[in-house]
């Protein structure tokens, strides 16, 4: 064991440690603010094939609305669960699929509670029954989220819950809803072999 | 000079005079504000679930905290720095990682594809941002108290505490996310499930482990000054990569579907994904501990005063299992008070070793007096020397029983979650 020198007994010199501390703060800033800024700078929207079924997850497909684009940030396909996010101008059209053990009533209650669980959201009116061309039965309704309006629909199929959420400002939504309703009716579930 | 330990000083009051200290404190304060904002949102929406989650995961933190704090028995880290490490993980690393990981995951989806992000996003984005943010916590400790990072084991302890802080706060956030996802209001069931999965099953091989790996690298970088700078930086980078790779393996889709569901599949995943980094960290801890212990025992061996430490105690002090055996022997031979007295004596001897390492020519009178006082207490109890006795069958039976119980509990939990 050798001698311990005075140099070894001291902490880092103040100027150097301050410099390194500022570098450290800069790295944190890059992670917390730089990456999100870069994320915002890279376009998220991708074209989708018109009239072609889009695979959401777990055997659930949907034909996107005419003129819609796919938002890569809200789209995560998967074998058991997944999401797809389409955009029609400023209107968001999201479909989520995940395993679910309850019936349609429980699914509707769950989705409405999730909507109202977000501060400022309110479910409006009563829900209506809806069905798709592929034979899925569900319910749909409306909600408000601050200055945006929204529509929701929920379906249950073979241990899966399929949730549809649409949001946008009043005028945009009114224009897009016919195309979105037509798209929702193309929801189809087929067991993946 | 020994590779194992780089003696420091006890100058905690000097923290306040360092500009870097105030930079670090400002960063921690900013993290505290951000996490408080998230906590307020949680409390407003799900008060019962939030309180339950905080209580459960705070309880989970206790054994981890005690275990990690005890890793470096001979030269314990100051409580203030341990708290700072934990706070960095829980407040800073989490605050940074939430937006950073989401952004990186989005970039993978945009520049690659949504399929790639769905499959590998969690394995690439989270580890990249989180391991950097956590490792910077150990760097922050070095910046403001380099004298307190004087062995690889110190780096492991600080890294593990940063990881523990991160793990606990992240688990609470995941638990409330599960409550929100369940859509059943302010229910505690999703919190319990999250606790079982993330706390109980995945807790051992989670951020505490990854942080310890990266911390070992920073410890090596700081302590081994006789090595070339390039080599030290390479080792630190390798340790950070090991932490990243362990985290990435844990988050990866490998074995997720091929092994199916059920308890055996869950156990296989734990073994394949969790065991390699756990064994690596245990090896590093053992090696770093033994090297540090050999250094401090060597320091005490120069004392040559049986009132301070005997030959038998020198042999005991360098090994965690022998220290424990000496306490058990004292309990059997002279009762529970003797057990506590042996523990205090061992602590005092360790403090003396640290004091002598920092100033070999100094008197270390306060530490020596403390050792003599504890020795006198022990002698009064009829147990003058803190040495280990013969291995008892009761201890062996207790060890085997505890291991069997742990395996049974693990199997029940795996069966419940796998069904």
Condensed to tens digits (0 to 9), the pLDDT of residues B185-235 reads 899 999 999 998 888 778 777 899 999 999 999 999 999 988 999 999 999
Query: At a CB cut-off of 8 Å and minimum separation 6, what does B256 contact?
Result: B269
Which of B16-20, B51-55, B191-195 has the highest average model confidence (pLDDT)? B51-55
Choose the closest CB to A28 out of B27, B115, B143.
B27
Of the three residues B239, B262, B291, the one that is the final residue of a domain is B291
Residue A86: the pLDDT is 97
A80 and A64, same structural domain?
Answer: yes
Torsion, Cα of B183, B185, B191, B192 (10° steps): -100
Q: B400 in contact with A at a CB cutoff of 8 Å? A: no
Alpha carbon of residue B49 to chain centroid: 27
A51 and A37, same structural domain?
Answer: no
Write down the number of H helices and E strands in chain A. 5, 11
Q: Is A140 helix (H, G, I), strand (E, B) or coil?
A: strand
Alpha carbon of residue B72 to chain centroid: 10
State which residues form the domain around B206.
12-291
B219, B151 in Cβ contact below 8 A? yes
Average pLDDT taken over every residue of chain B: 90
Residue A1: the pLDDT is 38
B345 and B255, same structural domain?
Answer: no
CB contact under 8 A, B299 and A31: no
A192, A56 in Cβ contact below 8 A? no
Chain A CB contacts of B45 below 8 Å = 117, 119
A92 and A151, same structural domain?
Answer: yes
B41 and B112, same structural domain?
Answer: yes
B286 and B139, same structural domain?
Answer: yes
A112 and A35, same structural domain?
Answer: no
Local structure of residue B306 (DSSP, 8 states): T
Prediction pTM value: 0.88
- For B221-277, write each residue's pLDDT tens digit: 999 988 999 999 999 999 999 999 999 999 998 876 666 666 677 777 878 888 888
**Residue pairs spanning A and B at CB distance below 8 A:** 152
pLDDT of A2 above 50: no
B244 and B183, same structural domain?
Answer: yes
Number of domains within chain B: 2
pLDDT of A31 above 90: yes
A142 and A57, same structural domain?
Answer: yes
- For B325-376, write each residue's pLDDT tens digit: 999 999 988 999 999 999 999 999 999 999 998 887 777 889 999 999 999 9
How does B389-419 read in b/e, with b if 16+ C-beta sit within 10 Å?
eeeeeeeeeeeeeeeeeeeeebeebbeebee
Q: What is the DSSP string of B143-203?
A: HHHGGG--BHHHHHHHHHHHHHHHHHHHHHHHHHHHHHHHTSSS-SHHHHHHIIIIIIISS
pLDDT of B3 above 60: no
A134 and A106, same structural domain?
Answer: yes
B108 and B250, same structural domain?
Answer: yes
Q: Is residue A79 part of a domain?
A: yes
A30, B129 in Cβ contact below 8 A? no
Q: Which helix (H) or strand (E) holds A24?
A: helix A14-29
CATH number of the domain that residue A86 is part of: 3.40.1000.10
Chain B CB contacts of A17 below 8 Å = 18-20, 143-144
Number of domains within chain A: 2
Among candidate residues A96, A124, A85, the one with its CA nearest the CA of residue B183? A96
Per-residue pLDDT, averaged over B382-404, amounts to: 85
A50 and A119, same structural domain?
Answer: yes
Residue B328: the pLDDT is 92
B177 and B120, same structural domain?
Answer: yes
B325 and B283, same structural domain?
Answer: no
B118, A78 in Cβ contact below 8 A? yes
Q: Is residue B337 part of a domain?
A: yes
B137 and B82, same structural domain?
Answer: yes
B34 and B59, same structural domain?
Answer: yes
B349 and B282, same structural domain?
Answer: no
Distance from C-alpha of B107 to C-alpha of B221, rounded to nearest angstrom: 32
A135 and A52, same structural domain?
Answer: yes
Residue A108: the pLDDT is 93
B19 and B116, same structural domain?
Answer: yes
State which residues form the domain around A55.
45-189
Distance from C-alpha of B410 to C-alpha of B275, rounded to nearest angstrom: 15
CB contact under 8 A, A21 and B19: yes
pLDDT of A84 above 80: yes
B268 and B347, same structural domain?
Answer: no
Residue of A nearest to B8 (CA): A9
- For B157-184, write each residue's pLDDT tens digit: 999 999 999 999 999 999 999 998 888 8
- For A105-125, write each residue's pLDDT tens digit: 999 999 998 888 777 888 988
- For A90-110, write each residue's pLDDT tens digit: 999 999 999 998 899 999 999
Q: Is residue B1 part of a domain?
A: no
A182 and A149, same structural domain?
Answer: yes
Choose the closest CB to B117 out of A11, A36, A76.
A76
pLDDT of B310 above 90: yes
A82 and A18, same structural domain?
Answer: no
Which of A15-29, A119-133, B101-115 has the highest average model confidence (pLDDT)? B101-115
User: Which of B 60-99 lie inside 8 A of A, CB atoms?
Assistant: 92, 95-97, 99
Distance from C-alpha of A104 to C-alpha of A131, rounded to nearest angstrom: 12
User: Which of B 34-63 lie inside 8 A of A, CB atoms?
Assistant: 41, 44-46
Q: Is residue A1 part of a domain?
A: no
A120: left (phi over 0), alpha (psi -120 to 50) or beta: left
Local structure of residue A76 (DSSP, 8 states): B
Identify the band that residue A3 occupies on the pLDDT scale cut at 50, 70 and 90.
Answer: very low
Query: At a CB cut-off of 8 Å and minimum separation 6, what does B62 contact?
Result: none
């Amino acid at each position: 064991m050798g001698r311990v020198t005075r140099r070894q007994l001291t902490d880092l010199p103040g100027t150097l440690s301050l410099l390194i501390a500022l570098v450290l703060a800069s790295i944190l800033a890059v992670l917390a603010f730089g990456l999100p800024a870069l994320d915002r700078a890279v376009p998220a929207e991708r074209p989708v094939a018109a009239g072609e079924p889009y695979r959401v997850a777990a055997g659930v497909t949907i034909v996107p609305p005419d003129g819609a684009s796919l938002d890569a940030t809200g789209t995560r396909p998967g074998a058991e669960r997944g999401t797809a996010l389409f955009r029609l101008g400023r209107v968001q059209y999201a479909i989520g699929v995940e395993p679910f053990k309850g019936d349609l009533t429980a699914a509707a209650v769950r989705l409405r509670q999730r909507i109202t669980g977000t501060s400022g959201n309110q479910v409006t009116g009563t829900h209506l029954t809806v069905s798709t061309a592929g034979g899925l039965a569900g319910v749909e309704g409306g909600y408000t989220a601050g200055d945006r309006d929204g529509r929701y629909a929920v379906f249950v199929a073979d241990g899966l819950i399929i949730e549809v959420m649409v949001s946008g400002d009043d005028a945009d939504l009114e224009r897009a809803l016919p195309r979105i309703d037509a798209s929702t009716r193309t929801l189809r579930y087929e067991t993946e072999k | 000079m020994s590779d194992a330990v780089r003696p420091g000083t006890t100058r905690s009051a000097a923290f306040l005079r360092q500009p870097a200290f105030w930079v670090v404190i400002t960063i921690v304060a900013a993290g505290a504000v951000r996490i408080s904002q998230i906590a307020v949102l949680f409390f407003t929406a799900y008060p019962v679930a939030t309180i339950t989650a905080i209580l459960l995961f705070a309880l989970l933190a206790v054994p981890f905290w005690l275990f990690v704090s005890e890793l470096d028995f001979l030269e314990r880290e100051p409580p203030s720095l341990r708290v700072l490490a934990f706070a960095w993980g829980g407040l800073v690393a989490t605050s940074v990682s939430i937006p950073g990981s989401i952004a990186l995951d989005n970039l993978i989806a945009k520049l690659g594809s949504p399929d790639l992000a769905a499959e590998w996003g969690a394995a690439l984005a989270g580890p990249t941002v989180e391991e950097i943010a956590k490792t910077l916590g150990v760097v922050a400790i070095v910046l403001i108290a380099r004298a307190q990072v004087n062995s690889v084991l110190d780096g492991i302890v600080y890294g593990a505490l940063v990881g523990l802080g991160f793990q606990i706060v992240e688990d609470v956030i995941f638990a409330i996310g599960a409550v929100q996802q369940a859509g059943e209001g302010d229910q505690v069931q999703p919190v319990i499930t999250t606790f079982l999965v993330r706390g109980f099953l995945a807790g051992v091989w989670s951020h505490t482990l990854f942080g310890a790996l990266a911390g070992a690298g920073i410890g090596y970088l700081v302590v081994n000054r006789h090595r070339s700078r390039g080599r030290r930086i390479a080792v630190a980078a390798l340790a950070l990569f090991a932490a990243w790779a362990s985290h990435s393996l844990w988050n990866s889709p490998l074995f997720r579907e091929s092994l199916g569901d059920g308890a055996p599949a869950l156990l296989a995943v734990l073994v394949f994904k969790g065991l390699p980094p756990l064994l690596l960290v245990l090896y590093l801890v053992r090696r770093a501990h033994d090297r540090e212990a050999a250094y401090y025992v060597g320091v005490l061996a120069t004392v040559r005063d049986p009132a301070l430490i005997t030959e038998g105690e020198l042999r005991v002090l360098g090994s965690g299992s022998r220290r424990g055996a000496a306490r058990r022997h004292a309990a059997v031979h002279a009762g529970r008070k003797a057990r506590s007295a042996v523990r205090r004596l061992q602590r005092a001897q360790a403090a003396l070793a640290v004091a002598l390492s920092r100033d070999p020519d100094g008197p270390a009178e306060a530490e020596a007096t403390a050792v003599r006082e504890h020795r006198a207490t022990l002698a009064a109890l009829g147990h003058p020397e803190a040495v280990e006795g013969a291995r008892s069958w009761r201890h062996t039976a207790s060890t085997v029983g505890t291991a069997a119980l742990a395996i049974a509990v693990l199997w029940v939990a795996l069966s419940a979650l796998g069904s």
